[in-house]
Structure 1
Amino acid sequence: MISKSLLMSAAVALTCSLGFSQDKKQQDIKSIKSMCGCYEVKFNFTETFSYPKDSLTYKPSETKHESALEWVQLIEDTPNKIVMQHLLIVSPEMIIKHWRQDWLYENTDLYSFDKGTSWKYKKLDKKAVKGQWTQKVYQVDDSPRYEGSSTWVHVDGKDYWANVADAPLPRREQTKRNDYNVLKRRNIHEITATGWNHEQDNDKLVRDDAGKDVLLAQEKGFDVYTKVDDSKCVAGQKWWAENNALWKNVRDKWQTLFDRHKDLNLEAKVDRKALYSLLFDLKPDTAKAETDKIIDKFVK
């Protein structure tokens, strides 16, 4: 027979464990949401090593140093899901809808990039994702890009999340490179005293139809987000207020496709036009039926 003291000890231990879990989750949420706001961003990429079969003809990617002003808008905030939309502010008159990141707590549904325009659906084990957050990164048209589940770490004054996930070629390389077809991204999101950093150590892979990978080259990425006053990003805030209904319709349509929990295969272009081009041309008051129709044309 179990004594009352043992039962009480077990209850206290469970209560402390639950309390620690909730405190940890709140720390995670604070870190994730701190990435919202107005930022001056420096994007830095350089190819570090290469392993081509023919080193005489191989041309490495050029080193990139670019800067931008970016508004990161919080568009969904629930205990288990945080959604943030990035907007590039080229000028007060020119705002470009950039990438989007969703954070889901203990998520078990994942779309893993395969190659080309195909993503494989994966069901994750509940035990494997306990206490973890999935980061789902989407392209400018809200189609999938890459996803991964990992634990936020808060130790020795550092707050970061690290993960490895396959992704399509980055936009900076899509029109310049065709000698590899998968970018294996090692991503670290670290919160800093002045904002946050997105650090990357990536593999450029050649993946064949059997799923075999050959390493072509590696690159280092280091994107520095420095927080500035929100007033510098007023143009982005206004643009989102005018256009958010349109893009909610787009997100909702994609969600119905993701909720099928099936592999996703997309067309790169329809009538010689990319999906983002068609969506960017729409007016803010475009009906959902129209955006649904456009997206459906790209789903195989």
Structure 2
Amino acid sequence: MKSVASFFFAILLAAPLGASAEKPKSEQTRQYTFAWKFSDKDKMKPRGGTTTGSSITLVKKASAEWQALQAAGLSKKEKDRRAILAMAGPYRASFDFVETTGFTEDYEPPAPYQSWGTEYVYVLTDENDFISLQHVLVMFMENKDGEESDPIVVKHWRQDWRYQSRDLYQYVGHSTWQHLRLSRRAVADTWSQAVFQVDDSPRYHSYGRWEHRSNYSSWISAETWRPLPRREFSVRDDYHTLIGFNRHTITPNGWVHTEDNKKAVLTQEGKLVADTPYIALETGLNRYERIRGHDWSAGHAYWKKTGPFWAEVRAVWQELIQKRKGIALTNKVNGRSLFITLFMLASRHPAKTFDANEANSAILSAIAPYLRSS
């Protein structure tokens, strides 16, 4: 398994997280036709991963998780729970984003973004009113000679689902999150989804209702503010936040996360700029297709080794969130992002010798320099 340092520099710093390109069976030119039929093909060539991933095998039959969701006699809440749990398992995850509408004079669409990776979604917690899912990338690359690399394991994002939660920790721009209290009426029959970064810091938080049909189940969020993802902040700085809606749709052999995002410009106070509040509208489609035959053993081993450490990281963040009305973060301290520090700490606190008090102290010391007054 690749070391922490290797993965940071090869994956996170050289390309967006999880980016890789599947090796084609024959030489083909990547094409993009949606939304910009008459645009210059060279300018609209998708950006994203440039590495070559190993081949995969898709699962075509309905999964056991899907069949569990279709069982007769389930309550609405239990259907909701099973839809959320159906997102767990082994996947090829692909990520596609394209700006479809520009709101400024002389607007020119940027190149769309495409990447993919192989990702296992673990169930961390399965309780009546709360489900937590952890995404972990386990990727194999092929070099020019066709030789396959050792597995590269990347702890990815996390999603926490809570039933009828009145408390949201919403993003308000400029790396700042604030507590929002909702009414009981507003959250009746809803599930909130809290999404966390790779370092388990907050990313975005919203709520919505599940809808169930005979051949799909779908959840759509309320309007949600989100910080820029790596695919954006690594290449541009002309806007500050994404404002839009997320939809999670469960299908017989996977699930799809669609996004409808406005790219918003904010004042220093976190308000929309009056004359040009939005610069563009973006459509995103993240597709999770079940696969078989992929070797996930390195991911399982990594999570067994570091699981207690990351549980302590989650506990530290939860305590910080509960104690504060808001959290504001500095993106880098001494040129280093927080996730790098925490991933290095994870390797120093393995499960075999794990001491919760020692880890807690190290985690608090690591996070503290990144906290600023909100």
Q: Which of these residues, 22, 37, 47, is aligned with residue 99 of structure 2?
A: 47
Contact 1:38 1:232 in 2 (8 A): no
Q: Superposed, which structure 2 residues align to 1:110-129 within 5 Å? A: 110-129=168-187
Q: CA deviation at 1:290?
A: 0.3
Q: Distance in 2 between matches of 1:72 and 1:256?
A: 25
Cα-to-partner distance string for 1:252-297 (whole Å, 9 max, x where unaligned):
0000011125011112222221111111122445322101211122
Query: Which structure shows the bigger proportion of residues in strand conformation?
Result: 1
1:211 aligns with 2:211: no
CA root-mean-square deviation: 1.8
Aligned residue type for 2:124: I
2:132 is aligned to 83
2:220 is aligned to 162
* SS of corresponding position for 1:61: coil
Cα-to-partner distance string for 1:12-68 (whole Å, 9 max, x where unaligned):
xxxxxxxxx98111000100001001001121111111112x42xx55332122121
1:61 aligns with 2:110: yes
Q: CA deviation at 1:191?
A: 0.2
2:360 is aligned to 288
Q: CA deviation at 1:184?
A: 1.1
2:189 is aligned to 131
* SS of corresponding position for 2:239: coil
Aligned residue type for 1:192: T
Counterparts in 2 of 1:42 and 1:291: CA distance versus 1, 3 Å: same
Contact 2:174 2:270 in 1 (8 A): no
Q: Distance in 1 between matches of 2:234 and 2:243?
A: 19
1:274 is aligned to 337
2:77 is aligned to 25
Counterparts in 2 of 1:230 and 1:112: CA distance versus 1, 3 Å: farther
Q: Structure 1: 5+ residue runs without aligned partners?
A: 1-20
Contact 2:164 2:188 in 1 (8 A): yes
Q: Distance in 1 between matches of 2:215 and 2:152?
A: 38
Q: Distance in 2 between matches of 1:87 and 1:227?
A: 14
1:265 is aligned to 328
Q: Structure 2: 5+ residue runs without aligned partners?
A: 1-72, 141-149, 350-358
Q: Distance in 1 between matches of 2:249 and 2:293?
A: 21
Q: Superposed, which structure 2 residues align to 1:146-185 within 5 Å? A: 146-163=204-221, 164-185=223-244
Q: Which of these residues, 126, 149, 160, is aligned with residue 102 of structure 1?
A: 160
Q: Distance in 2 between matches of 1:133 and 1:166?
A: 17
Q: CA deviation at 1:149?
A: 0.9
* SS of corresponding position for 2:187: coil
Q: Greater CA deviation, 32-41 or 120-129? A: 120-129
Q: Distance in 1 between matches of 2:255 and 2:337?
A: 32
Q: CA deviation at 1:185?
A: 2.9
How many residues in Structure 1 have an aligned counterpart in Structure 2? 277
Contact 2:310 2:346 in 1 (8 A): no
Q: Distance in 1 between matches of 2:365 and 2:293?
A: 36
Aligned residue type for 1:28: D
Q: CA deviation at 1:106?
A: 0.8
Q: Distance in 1 between matches of 2:101 and 2:134?
A: 33
Contact 1:246 1:285 in 2 (8 A): no
Q: Distance in 2 between matches of 1:41 and 1:271?
A: 33
Output the TM-score relative to the length of structure 1. 0.87
Q: CA deviation at 1:231?
A: 5.3
Q: Greater CA deviation, 206-215 or 243-252? A: 206-215
Cα-to-partner distance string for 1:216-260 (whole Å, 9 max, x where unaligned):
001111111111237532221221111111111110000001112
* SS of corresponding position for 1:177: coil
Q: Greater CA deviation, 119-128 or 133-142? A: 119-128
1:17 is aligned to none
Cα-to-partner distance string for 1:115-154 (whole Å, 9 max, x where unaligned):
1111121011122101110000001111111110111111
1:10 is aligned to none
* SS of corresponding position for 1:180: coil
Aligned residue type for 1:253: V
1:233 is aligned to 296
Q: Distance in 2 between matches of 1:298 and 1:124?
A: 29
Q: Distance in 2 between matches of 1:31 and 1:196?
A: 10
